Structure 1
Amino acid sequence: MTSRDWQASWIWGGAEDSPRNEWRCFRRAFDVPADVDRSARLHISADSRYVLYVNGTQVGRGPVRSWPKEQFYDTYEIGHLLRPGGANTIAALVLHFGVSNFYYIRGRGGLLAEAEANGRVLAATDGEWTTERLGGQQAGSPRMACQQGFAEVIDARAGDDRWIEPGFDDGHWAKARTIGAAGTAPWLTLVPRDIPFLTEEKFYPASVMSLHRVQAPAFVAALDLRNQMVPESANHANPIAYCGYLATELVLERDGDVTIGFPGGRMNRLLVDGVPYETWRGEQPERYYDLKLSAGGHLVLVDVTVGDHGGSFHIGVDGDVPFALRAPIGEAGETAAPFVTVGPFDHSEWIDHRPGHREMRKDHPDYESLRTCASSAELAAYRSWIRPVDPSMYTEDDVFGASVWRTVAERRSVPLSLQNAVLPVPEPAALPGFADGDVELVIDLGRERSGFVGFEIEAPAGTIVDGYGVEYVRDEYIQHTYGLDNTFRYVCRAGRQRYLSPVRRGFRYLILTIRGETERVKLHEVYLNQSTYPVAEIGRFRCSDAQLNEIWEMSKHTTRLCMEDTFVDCPAYEQVFWVGDSRNEALVNYYVFGATDIVKRCLNLVPGSADMTPLYVDQVPSAWSSVIPNWTFFWIIACEEYAAHTGDRAFARSIWPAVRHTLDHYLQHLDDSGLLFIRGWNLLDWAPIDQPGDGIVTHQNLFLVKALRQAARLAQAAGADAEAPRYEERADALARAINAKLWDEARSAYLDCIHADGRRSSVFSMQTQVVAYLCDVAEGERRSAMEDYLLSPPPAFVQIGSPFMSFFYYEALEKSGNHRHLLDDIRKHYGLMLDHGATTCWEMYPNFDENRANPNQLTRSHCHAWSAAPGYFLGASILGVKRSDAGWQSVEIAPQPSGLTWAEGAVPLPEGGHVAVRWRLEEGRLNLRVEAPSDVRVDVRLPEGMEGDVERVTFERLWD
């Protein structure tokens, strides 16, 4: 079924149904009758993403992420762009990924579009549309990450920007190929967009922060070894491993020094002419091997036996003598890569929630004997294992490699006139010229942003503009985005030109390197079109502590940058809708922005993974079949919280069958002792708690108790009252089993787990004790012990390891009435972020193991909304604004001064309006002002033992 009567057909072009990283242009010229009014609309969808133009004007981007079986489409008002009584043009650029990732499941390339007005179709995609690959777009550009699509390499000399304009001569373009009518597989159902369009706000940077003369290695390249080694891995995003080598022949004109480098790591061993090299330099994960080699050819074997979730493999070569690389086996050609892969000798794929993963074997005799292979002639004996590198998976336009491995980096002062490049002024910025080297600018946006990079430049043909976005720069230290190729390359045509990337990126610092005759280059502007979920900043918070005010603003900005077409974990590394993260993000959003459609959309997307597993996957829509049971439990909790927050009983009724479905399947995993015993990614915190991938994990059992209890309340909201008691009973039974089996009397604490072999964990963690208290499983003396731990964590216990876990800790502190302790912890951890110049909340705390290898690295992601807890708790706890019943018909105002002298702010209401609170302590009395709609009942509770005056102000709401 489709949601409207489409006359358009799905179309595509070219020879391949699902080409890798293909950007394809589509056009249709059509006449618009003179009597068409401004009500004209255009409906459009595409696989994978589109940018839409009408008569040369960009209209929008899309579609939102979706399961292929329920493909979303967008509808735009276009009447104001049409030219009645004349010729008009619709143009669309479609970016087809051709590989699966964490927010896209591979389908096939396709475009569906239909313009209509006054009850008649003006234009609809069919075999009369014309199509052509975007000129100059390189299909072999680097894969950004396992979670995402591709960086771009664009050669503007091979393209013509006028293709979007009316009157463009597309006579040499091919006719589009018709795939089928609406409802054709894989897009079985077409669903109208369920959220507003995202913003596109133009922001100029704050400054050009630094300028360097730089040089890149003589040779750098990026490869997709995952899809090269295991081609079928393009169809899924599950982790794989493979056993094999990357091989090339390095030919030197004379004896000399050569460095072979791996700017992104991801390799095991380097062998040259059968000799292993064990010594290297560089900070992990980078590796640089310095070699002395004689003139002639040398066989280079790189052991790339590794687990590979996806992304780019980077390799480079530099030396003091001329050299060349060539494939050691096979014929050279214009498009041939100078590498071959050898193997894989074995490979494997694993899926978290399914038992029986086969470990990859590394004992194949050919794999072992190849280590002594000393020449290309000897390598020929292994011809059956050798494959040339697919040109679509290889590029020498490796911006990441060239930016990370700089063989020269000399800092120079920034001319004042160069700041014109980042200011909205008419004067361009002239670049300096270096006789030997390129110009690298580090441009500071002022704070993290997420969206689309644009620039205007005047340059000679062939000038290269390399862009690389990073999140953290301090002095000479750059925190490189290992695992994320956050780059683009644009090769200029002659003259003045503009470019706006269609690829979303998140970063604070843009490293812009201009390569070529830089003294002839003028930068007219550099900017970012920020694209986030459209929200009004209704929520407010200010208090007598300036540090807390800054922390609240940081939490707000973080949350906004992580609101795209779903909540996402971070705007840089992943841009993925992680189901568990979004529960906490939703609560922050309720108090800061008050958006509800995005929450509902996120919750509705999750059951789409039921075709993969009834336990539901942890990031959707995704081609990674990964299950974190807690993430499903958080989804159930979030469903109940959304229904209660909005009072939306229709949502409760529609989502209840999906909640019941997954809960019933989880309950099948209870063992004879009544505890959840499951294989999966049993995650809660990054800290070293004992959370094995198989067995009984205590925090998981605890959250299942909470999920069951909130599911019972959801059942009641859905009108399924008869079903609610069963889930309450199962929750009580599970709580009894936890107290009987997972409590350690000697330590007076809940142990972390029982391993699959029956071994009781010796690890005790704050995480487990916090969750036991939060989920109301600990009772009596045990509950009192948990309350003591909240304020005085035993040093021997594993401590809270991430801001994500701190959210649950703060929930427990609030529940126990320890508001002052909550504020102190926020000041400690988030104040540290501010001390290091943070404008967004970090994913990790600096003591996390991943950061210890490099003292400069404070966290992985510098913008992570699972960490934005203060945006919620400062409003809920310190302002004291809490919902008392479904839909906020009643509100409790219970401010907690906690050492502050005043606070004020507002909390949005789901159906419009807000509750505003202002309180001030004066001579021991609390003066409180509450502003709320007249139809909202307000219950004020002053802090225990405190007196004060309450002013109530009401206003009438206007209803949509």
Structure 2
Amino acid sequence: MTETKMPTRIQGEWIWKNSLLNHPDSFLLMRKEFVCSTVNLDTTLWISANCAYQLFINGRFVGFGPRAHQNCGVSYVDMHEVTYYLESGINVIAALVYYNADQGGHNKHSPGLWCQMEAQGKLLLCSDQTWVVREGNCYCAPRARLSKDQGLSQFFNADDSPLNWTTPVFLTDAQWKHPDYSTIVGDDFGSKLEPHPLAPPGIAVENPVPLPFARGRLVLPPNWTQVTFEEADGNGLETYAANTFLFSEVDEELPALIYSDDPMKFFCNNRLVLNAAEAMGTEVKLPLRAGWNRLLLVQNPGRHAMGMVMMIPSDDGREFWFGRAPEQKAAEGWNIVGPLKLSLEEATPSLKFERLVQDNYVPELEYLTDPDAYLSQSRFEEETLPADEEEAKLAWSRPLRTGDYVLYRLDMVRYGFVRVTLEATAGDLVDITIGCRRTGNGFISAGKGVRGTGTIRCRNARNVYLTFIPTDCFYIMISVRHASSSIKVLGISFEELTRNERQETTFRCSDELLNQFWEIGKQTLRRSAAFVPLAESRADNDCYMLDAYIDAVNMSVTFGDYEYASARLRQFLDAQLENGDIPALTFGSRHASQVHQLFFLPVWIYYNYRFTANITRLKETIPNLDLTLEYFEAMIDENTGLLVDTETRFSFDSRISSGEFRAGEIPTYINALFCRFLLSAAEIYRTIEDEGKANHCYELAGKVAEELRNRNFDPACSLFCRWSLESERMPDHNLFANFCAMFGGVLPLSSFEYFFYSFFNYDPPFDRSDESRHPYFHFLFMEMMFALGQKEWPFRYFRDYWSKRMCPEANAWRVDFDHADPAPTKFSEGSCVSPNIFLVREILGIRIAEAGHSVIYFNPAFHQVDWAESVFPMARGRLKVKWAVQEDGSLDVTLDSSFPVKILPEMSHKQLANTVFRLGEKVTLLNPTPDYDIDDDEGDDSRE
């Protein structure tokens, strides 16, 4: 990949507007005209913004960034090659910059933009006070958050947005000013610049046009009401309140759904109905009595917050009316008071409004703050389109009116930006929903607890809506909330954010199911490599070690992207704390422990070295490994010599196994993984010829294994208990504890048969435990089974597992066996785990024998597939592999390489005698060791 290098001399300043310095949730439109007398071939732009930007040059969308840094005192820099976007003469660079502090104001980054453009080393422009800027109020309105703790949903008032502001054909007005805030680039928070480790940044690539999928009408909207505190302009610490009155003819408990993003208390009459930090469709029951009922909301709203939306399902057609007083002639809506001296914690239903200054709020569909909630509780009726192709085209091209919707679908789940072009009338409201599946009522879901709906308030004639934040997309729904006459969809496109890979592995075999696994895995990796975490404390942005490790090794074998793999590892090593702990990368103010995944650090370090043979980089990791070893050794209990109830003693909450452990209990899986850590660390120390540390790790691993066997191993069933046998609780010989014991080398191989038949079946259904469904487990389990020399059964199990995870039409993995939703792009919970590395290693038969692929084991799975072929990028070049089983049972193998490589067949002498090798000039075939003689019978060892 192209290495990101900073400019020789940093020029330019951080620029912003003083009026927006202390305003979270603010947008700034920024542009600069510059002249290129000639367009040079090497024109580079460096750019950074806190916290996110969209970049345009001459009206063309260039990219989005930067990806967040786990260190809040540093801003990442993206480097864009922009020659392609420039023209001779006047050019325009434009950026839409968004600043949003963490909830509670913990974001230490100051808002701002910095950029610098050079052509062949000569400065073309930099960020300074000659730019012009305009507050992006057209993007700001009371609106709902995308999900818990993440930025607000997109709203775009096209009628208030300057036309063509990203292009040279533009006339400024009085609202455009020069930036009145600037500061030099230095070491202060938010101004220290570093190149992004996962360089280069993702590029936006336009994909095939999304195809029309369905159209129809919204036929059954829900009853709803809302209240919004539009005057709230602070950090969510002030208290506001609102009340309304609802009439009921009888005593009843009325079901309702509450949506809110801010801390709140909600009362019905004198009863507390809901006390929550947020509510994403929380089900409540309103205890109504016959007559008038008072509903009271007390809340700490943030800037541009949605307030509260309440949906009342009513399949029987019953309608509800909310009045500002308990009488029939009262005006509709809510009474609002605040800010109050009263804190939210002290709020009770005794709060009276009569002696306070009140404002009125009338909910109108035009100003609905959570259209996703409204649409998700509505029902959509699909239109039957004509069978005739020409008539169907005419039906699709019909303009949309109020209540109409049209649905489009991509060819697969992709990660990026949706662009919609509409012809409309000023004031028309269109909701655009992006998601990966259709719900039972015909709506589009973006995932559990995630809102996928944005809104555009149209101007006259042509309107362009471009999503600001990249997201997963399979379906795109355009629904018309209000149209003065009609709205026409002029165009719809999807611009995929993707990492520009120089090369990729080609893989094909005779088994089409395995080919599907490869393609889905490849597309999943494309999305994960382009994933952009924002600078906010949101769990979905977290990056955990197992996810990053599995992603990195798959990226290496699928795209030959060893720099990506190394940079991923470097991110975690750079985040190491002074005590040796390495938390998950949270990109904000949160702290997420991942101590149980930290056991895999040396496994990943050694994997990385085996791929590249870069001994210098390996040695650079040793101080981190030393500190991590000291971290774990300090946690060993002096009495037992083992790690004891670490969750309780150290408040660790990042488990990779279910189950709580009580004080004093010895978890089998943690100590077994510690043994794996020690054995892998010893391999690293041996590689750098530090025999003292290597022997120390081996000795400590032996002691831990012996103590664990003495305390937790149950000889009655030849299995480990989850905790020590002396525990007061009943023995629990669960799968994960015993898997970790075998994975860590603690469970003797003589117990493999007991292990296998205790938790698996030889024939389908293979699994006896739900623990085996998790992607973490399956990946590590396959690693272990293939390493143990198991053959036929692991292949069958592998096929069965991943076929159950497939969403073929979306070209994505399912969340799990029981849910058809495509797994989201994120680095937690195994969402991006893919099996590509096993297809190369175990089907194609290519495995590293010596670091850097200088010597390669070759063991083709000719008993599983009839043929396989691949062009495989390695650290020093490319290897071409092609083999096929002939009609007479012989094997025809072609091996060619662009660099010198030695191939060591892992095949019996009988198999070798029945194989024809066709070798390139740089390929040397080694003879297997004399005692290497594999039985041709492919029966699974676990049956013996």
The one-letter code of the counterpart of 1:890 is V
Residue of structure 2 equivalent to 1:839: 811
Match among 368, 376, 380 for residue 404 of structure 1: 376
The 1-side partners of 2:530 and 2:856 are apart by 30
Q: Deviations over 1:847-871 (max 9, x none)?
A: xxxxxxxxxx446836676564432
Q: Deviations over 1:275-305 (max 9, x none)?
A: 5779xxxx9965375887878672235899x
Following superposition, the deviation at residue 28 of structure 1 comes to 3.0
Following superposition, the deviation at residue 456 of structure 1 comes to 1.1
- SS for the counterpart of 2:773 is coil
Residue of structure 1 equivalent to 2:823: 861
2:916 maps to 1:954:
no
Residue of structure 2 equivalent to 1:705: 675
Following superposition, the deviation at residue 715 of structure 1 comes to 4.0
- SS for the counterpart of 2:678 is helix
Residue of structure 1 equivalent to 2:78: 74
Q: Deviations over 1:730-788 (max 9, x none)?
A: 33333333223332223321222359x96567322222222222222222534554455
2:932 maps to 1:927:
no
Structure-to-structure mapping, 1:364-513, within 5 angstroms: 370=348, 373=349, 377=352, 396-406=368-378, 408-414=379-385, 429-431=396-398, 438-473=403-438, 476=441, 480=445, 481-513=447-479
Residue of structure 2 equivalent to 1:890: 855
Q: Structure 1 residues 598, 904: closer, same or farther in 2, change over 3 A?
A: same
Residue of structure 2 equivalent to 1:765: 734
2:296 maps to 1:300:
yes
Aligned-CA RMSD value: 4.7
The one-letter code of the counterpart of 1:556 is K
Residue of structure 2 equivalent to 1:731: 701
The 2-side partners of 1:155 and 1:792 are apart by 59
Q: Deviations over 1:642-693 (max 9, x none)?
A: 122111223223232223223322221111222223234455547x455679
Match among 533, 548, 558 for residue 582 of structure 1: 548
Deviates more, 1:312-321 or 1:622-631: 312-321
The one-letter code of the counterpart of 2:823 is S
Asked if the contact 2:896/2:922 (under 8 Å) is kept, the reply is: no
The 2-side partners of 1:447 and 1:339 are apart by 48
Residue of structure 2 equivalent to 1:272: 268
- SS for the counterpart of 1:928 is strand
Deviates more, 1:582-591 or 1:723-732: 723-732
- SS for the counterpart of 2:431 is strand
- SS for the counterpart of 1:843 is strand
Residue of structure 1 equivalent to 2:642: 675
Residue of structure 2 equivalent to 1:829: 801
Q: Structure 1 residues 814, 45: closer, same or farther in 2, change over 3 A?
A: same
Deviates more, 1:335-344 or 1:452-461: 335-344
Following superposition, the deviation at residue 489 of structure 1 comes to 1.1
How high is the TM-score relative to the length of structure 2?
Answer: 0.81
Q: Structure 1 residues 943, 298: closer, same or farther in 2, change over 3 A?
A: farther
Q: Structure 1 residues 589, 528: closer, same or farther in 2, change over 3 A?
A: same
Q: Structure 1 residues 595, 327: closer, same or farther in 2, change over 3 A?
A: farther
Residue of structure 1 equivalent to 2:55: 52
Q: Structure 1 residues 133, 418: closer, same or farther in 2, change over 3 A?
A: farther
The 2-side partners of 1:861 and 1:337 are apart by 42
Q: Structure 1 residues 782, 545: closer, same or farther in 2, change over 3 A?
A: same
Residue of structure 1 equivalent to 2:16: 12
Asked if the contact 1:418/1:430 (under 8 Å) is kept, the reply is: no
Residue of structure 1 equivalent to 2:31: 27
Q: Structure 1 residues 467, 83: closer, same or farther in 2, change over 3 A?
A: closer
Asked if the contact 1:689/1:765 (under 8 Å) is kept, the reply is: no
The 1-side partners of 2:367 and 2:664 are apart by 41
Residue of structure 2 equivalent to 1:241: none
Q: Structure 1 residues 412, 836: closer, same or farther in 2, change over 3 A?
A: same
Q: Structure 1 residues 549, 62: closer, same or farther in 2, change over 3 A?
A: same
Following superposition, the deviation at residue 820 of structure 1 comes to 2.0
The one-letter code of the counterpart of 2:741 is A
Structure-to-structure mapping, 1:40-189, within 5 angstroms: 40-66=43-69, 67-78=71-82, 87-99=90-102, 106-117=108-119, 120-138=122-140, 140-146=142-148, 148-166=150-168, 167-169=170-172, 171-187=174-190, 189=192
Q: Structure 1 residues 36, 588: closer, same or farther in 2, change over 3 A?
A: closer
Asked if the contact 2:596/2:656 (under 8 Å) is kept, the reply is: no
Q: Structure 1 residues 274, 866: closer, same or farther in 2, change over 3 A?
A: closer
Q: Structure 1 residues 684, 949: closer, same or farther in 2, change over 3 A?
A: farther
The 2-side partners of 1:749 and 1:457 are apart by 65
The 1-side partners of 2:155 and 2:579 are apart by 38
The one-letter code of the counterpart of 2:865 is L
Q: Structure 1 residues 27, 272: closer, same or farther in 2, change over 3 A?
A: same
2:605 maps to 1:623:
no
2:858 maps to 1:910:
no
Following superposition, the deviation at residue 140 of structure 1 comes to 3.8
The 2-side partners of 1:720 and 1:311 are apart by 60
Percent identical pairs in the alignment equals: 18
The 2-side partners of 1:428 and 1:525 are apart by 16
Residue of structure 1 equivalent to 2:941: none
Q: Structure 1 residues 525, 519: closer, same or farther in 2, change over 3 A?
A: same
Asked if the contact 1:428/1:525 (under 8 Å) is kept, the reply is: no
The 1-side partners of 2:194 and 2:122 are apart by 21
Q: Structure 1 residues 742, 540: closer, same or farther in 2, change over 3 A?
A: farther
Q: Structure 1 residues 639, 866: closer, same or farther in 2, change over 3 A?
A: farther
Residue of structure 2 equivalent to 1:240: none
The 2-side partners of 1:170 and 1:887 are apart by 60
The 1-side partners of 2:560 and 2:120 are apart by 36
Unaligned runs of 5+ in 2: 924-944
The 1-side partners of 2:922 and 2:808 are apart by 45
Asked if the contact 2:273/2:286 (under 8 Å) is kept, the reply is: no
Q: Structure 1 residues 717, 92: closer, same or farther in 2, change over 3 A?
A: farther
Residue of structure 2 equivalent to 1:546: 512
Q: Structure 1 residues 327, 630: closer, same or farther in 2, change over 3 A?
A: farther
Asked if the contact 1:462/1:491 (under 8 Å) is kept, the reply is: yes
Q: Structure 1 residues 759, 187: closer, same or farther in 2, change over 3 A?
A: farther
- SS for the counterpart of 2:203 is coil
Residue of structure 1 equivalent to 2:217: 212
- SS for the counterpart of 1:913 is strand
The one-letter code of the counterpart of 2:476 is L
Number of aligned residue pairs: give it.
878
2:619 maps to 1:653:
yes
The one-letter code of the counterpart of 1:9 is E
Deviates more, 1:503-512 or 1:111-120: 111-120
- SS for the counterpart of 2:139 is coil
Following superposition, the deviation at residue 216 of structure 1 comes to 4.1
The 2-side partners of 1:6 and 1:420 are apart by 60
Asked if the contact 2:226/2:307 (under 8 Å) is kept, the reply is: no
Q: Structure 1 residues 387, 943: closer, same or farther in 2, change over 3 A?
A: farther
Structure-to-structure mapping, 1:738-753, within 5 angstroms: 738-753=708-723
Residue of structure 2 equivalent to 1:556: 522
- SS for the counterpart of 1:884 is strand
Q: Structure 1 residues 165, 177: closer, same or farther in 2, change over 3 A?
A: same
Asked if the contact 1:584/1:866 (under 8 Å) is kept, the reply is: no
Following superposition, the deviation at residue 529 of structure 1 comes to 0.8
Q: Deviations over 1:41-67 (max 9, x none)?
A: 332211111122334343332223323
Asked if the contact 2:264/2:297 (under 8 Å) is kept, the reply is: no
Unaligned runs of 5+ in 1: 234-244, 305-309, 347-365, 847-856
